Amino acid sequence: MGTKIIPASQFTTEELTDFYNETRVDYLVPMPMSVDVMAEYIHDFDVDLDISPIVQDSETGQFLGLGMLGVRGENTWVTRLGVSPASRRRGAGASIMDSMLEASQKMGTKKTILEVIKNNTPAQTLFEKNSFTKTRELLVLRRAPMRPPLSPEGHIAWLYRKDALKALRSYPHHLTWINALKSMENASMFQGFHIELKDGTRGWLVYRHKKHSITHFVFHTERGNPVKMARNILLYLHLQYHRMDAYAENIFADDPHLPAFFDLGYFEAFRRIEMIRDIKI
């Protein structure tokens, strides 16, 4: 079977959405997208459609698979990679990967990053073959809408967009692509809270407020007890948004704030593995 690669920029967002959804029909976590969600995703995560490949059968033009490549400075991010179920095991996935790595190389990329769902062994094997190494395990947590039974302690102040961005700029650790500063700068609704407790514990939470949910949480403890800080901020957050679904993506498995999520009724939906291809290696 001959294949050809066409830049995603030659297709409409509707077509890209259909392609993407076609690759996911049999996934354990299918996460299909609507056209609006796809457009937001491309925008917020700096996906460059000119170097994002669509693979087609060179004779029939039939769609086989796609990948999307986010670009920020010296780093690229592989995302939405998928092959249509009927076209698997014919090398389409490898062609997509090669195309994205070649594009990254041409740009002088230092690091290419991706996340893969834990236990998706075929995908993880493909990435390992391409010199990606596992760096961290990430949790995806959910919480159904409900009013918390307690009120928070401490002094809490809203961080509006400008202040939330300022807080995030001071964040001392490396964030994953979707929670990184640039993603939040691109996002339409982004805000947070700062808290100071009587014992001197203080810190902040920043998050995105989407149409149907609150998402993309980043916690930071400036001083004191991280669990106490996060628990009180989450109590306040869920009092404000008691009718909203919450979806905390890519929380580090060793995040010190994690017990507070579980205290507030979050549960683990699934895990991702972050993998990095470092050109310096």
Partner 1 sequence: MAKILLIEDIEDNAALVRRALKAKKTDFYWAKNAAEGIEMALEIIPDLILLDLGLPDADGQTLSTWIREEKSLWEIPIIVMTAWPEKTAQQMVEAYHLDGYIGKPFVLQKFWELIDKFVEV
Q: How far apart are CA 215 and CA 140, in angstroms?
A: 10
What are the residues whose beta carbons fall under 8 Å from the beta carbon of 11, sequence distance 6 or more? 19, 54
Contacts of 267 (CB under 8 A, 6+ apart): 141, 142, 143
**Residue closer to partner 1, measured from CB, 150 or 269:** 269
The distance of closest approach from Cβ of residue 171 to partner 1 in the complex, given in angstroms and rounded to an integer, is: 28
Instruction: Give 111's contacts (C-beta < 8 A, 6+ positions apart).
Output: 74, 75, 76, 276, 277, 278, 279
Phi, psi torsion values for 141, nearest 5 degrees:
-115, 150
Residue 79 CA to residue 95 CA, distance in Å, equals 15
Look at strands 213-223 and 245-252 and give their pairing: parallel
User: In whole angstroms, how close is the CB of 273 to partner 1 at the nearest point?
Assistant: 17
- Looking at the Cβ atoms of 24 and 72, the one nearer to partner 1 is 24
Q: What does the binding site for partner 1 look like in residue numbers (CB under 8 A)? A: 17, 21, 24-25, 27-34, 36-37, 142-145, 211-213, 243, 245, 265, 267-270
- Give the largest CA-CA distance in the chain: 70
Nearest distance in Å: CB 218, partner 1: 22
CB of 219 to partner 1, least distance (A): 21
- Do 19 and 26 contact (CB within 8 A), yes or no? no
The minimum distance between CB 16 and partner 1, in angstroms, equals 13
Q: Which is nearer to partner 1, 147 or 243 (CB)?
A: 243
Taking the least distance from each CB to partner 1, the nearer of 163 and 263 is 263
Nearer to partner 1, 143 or 194 (CB): 143
